[in-house]
Amino acid sequence: MDTLDELIDKLATDSLLKALDPPQLEQLLRTARRKELARGEVIISQGDEESDFAVCLLAGGLKVSMNSAGGREIILNYCGPGEIVGEIAMLDRGPRTATVSAVGPSTVLLLPSQAFIDAVLSNPASVVGVMRELARRARQMNLIVESDRTFSMAPRLARAIVRLIDPDADDGRLRHNPSQSDLGAFAGLARENVSRLLSEWEEQSVIRRQGRALIVLNADYLQDLADFGDEG
Amino acid sequence: MDTLDELIDKLATDSLLKALDPPQLEQLLRTARRKELARGEVIISQGDEESDFAVCLLAGGLKVSMNSAGGREIILNYCGPGEIVGEIAMLDRGPRTATVSAVGPSTVLLLPSQAFIDAVLSNPASVVGVMRELARRARQMNLIVESDRTFSMAPRLARAIVRLIDPDADDGRLRHNPSQSDLGAFAGLARENVSRLLSEWEEQSVIRRQGRALIVLNADYLQDLADFGDEG
DNA sequence: CTTCATCTGTGATGCCCGTCACACTAGATT
DNA sequence: AATCTAGTGTGACGGGCATCACAGATGAAG
């Protein structure tokens, strides 16, 4: 088992926990139960009423999705190590709004609601950081709604891909190796059209394929598409 | 000028401020500048970088909207007295994500960022309530994304209308007297189709028209549509 | 009352994109 | 290697919904 110091190092800099001081953080993490997840394993189920914990990802990857009417999957977000998910229901005690599952073998910490609240309360200065992080998420959701409403397929897929570019890799590799179906569920379009768009972009050398994986060659092009649509 | 007590009474029970104790609240409101808005007047502009305040509505109504590429308006929310808007940018100091304007003559308080943070810090117990409220908003945005992605026109419009039913009125009157264009921008569909759907619903006595205003006769029907789509 | 801007009703047109169908590919498993 | 399952490529089709066009209605302002 890792030491707590190692765990703390892993926390992403923009995590909901970044605002906590090391002593508070250590206290919080000590109360957390650690869990290993297999690929595809579900840690939070949409609709679940017992929502008294959040999940902190230590290693691997998580997928946040809703299975909506008609059986269609909507992927809201992908998470990497250090990120927190499940805090909406943990904070407002409502039913879980989404399902969280592992995209590969993963290690998570289960943070009990009360422990999280205690940690924040014991260090009031951290409140600002927590609120800031919650605000950042709201901002991102606003962008998604705008994107859904006004943009056609290409810009929406572009935005999804840009969000998935691995910041730790020098080449334009994507995180979490999404399939075309995943990209479709993430961007809100049919898998077949993902296929067609990717072929088109490969022609134009915007992307490249390495086996099944995508490499983004021209991130600026995709970013432009994501920001301004096909017109601009 | 009203007394502070009167102002405090006006705060909605689920406001971002509900968690503050009266002394803190009074302190906060005392630092706030009061402002009168004419119909259509803009109090927050999308893209604005000076985002160091939130807005608390005392009287009237506010519209939160984004003007997206292509000149299309997207209405994200309508607010009534006691509600707070503009807290995303206030908290994370990023540019304003949306424009806020008055749907009629309104009175607002401008809450300086620092004063809000001070108020929260001076009463740590309020933190839980503030976080809960932020979480509630995130939850609502999730629903909107789901709705946009999976539902056809009718359920989306139904959801928009249900959100606008005036809780203070016994009949099914709507708040803010939205035009068909407004309803379209709120639900994410073309104005012409709003017109067609409303006519259809009037036939079925789901709604009634009073001059230009809408009266909801069968809220359950609309709620069902909003929850389960046309299929269910 | 008249005028003018804004809102509303309704048909015609077209196209974006989801769905269906089916062949093909590539890792996984034995 | 043989098989199997999940993923991919591509055409054809059709429907839902945006857009265009214009007429009628309504109400605010003079």
Which residue in B has a C-alpha nearest to residue A86's C-alpha?
B135
Contact B121 A125 (CB under 8 A): yes
Q: φ and ψ at A200, to 5 degrees? A: -60, -45
Which chain D positions have some atom within 7 A of a protein CB?
6-12, 16-21, 26-27
* Residues pairing with B66 in the sheet: B74
**Which chain B positions have a beta carbon within 8 Å of A120's beta carbon?**
127, 131
Lookup: nucleotide whose C1' is closest to B199 CA: C9
pLDDT at A120: 87
Q: Which of A99-103, B66-70, B112-116 has the lowest mean pLDDT?
A: B66-70
**Are A199 and A206 in contact, with CB atoms under 8 Å apart?**
no
Question: What is the DSSP code string of A22-51?
Answer: HHHHHHHHHHPEEEEE-TT-EEE-TT-S--
Closest residue by C-alpha to C1' distance, nucleotide C16: A152
CB atoms within 10 A of CB A212: 9
| Chain A, chain B: beta-carbon pairs less than 8 Å apart | 146
pTM attached to this predicted model: 0.92
pLDDT tens digits for A127-157? 888 888 889 889 989 999 999 999 999 999 9
A89 contacts B229? CB cut-off 8 A: no
The average confidence (pLDDT) of chain B is 90
Which pLDDT belongs to residue B55? Answer: 95
The reply to whether A149 Cβ lies less than 7 angstroms from strand D is no
**Any atom of strand D under 7 A from CB of B192?**
yes
pLDDT for res A129:
87
**How many whole angstroms separate alpha carbon B173 and alpha carbon B105?**
19
d(CA A47, CA A3): 35
Element (H, E) at A54: strand A53-59
- Residue A148 beta carbon within 7 A of nucleic strand C: no
Q: Which of the nucleotides in strand C have any atom less than 7 Å away from a protein CB atom?
A: 6-12, 16-21, 26-27
In angstroms, the CA of B175 and the C1' of D7 are apart by 49
- B149 close contact with A: CB closer than 8 A: yes
Q: How far is residue B6's CA from residue B109's CA, in Å, rounded to a whole number?
A: 13
* Confidence at residue A26, expressed as pLDDT on a 0 to 100 scale: 84
What is the amino acid identity at position B82?
A: G
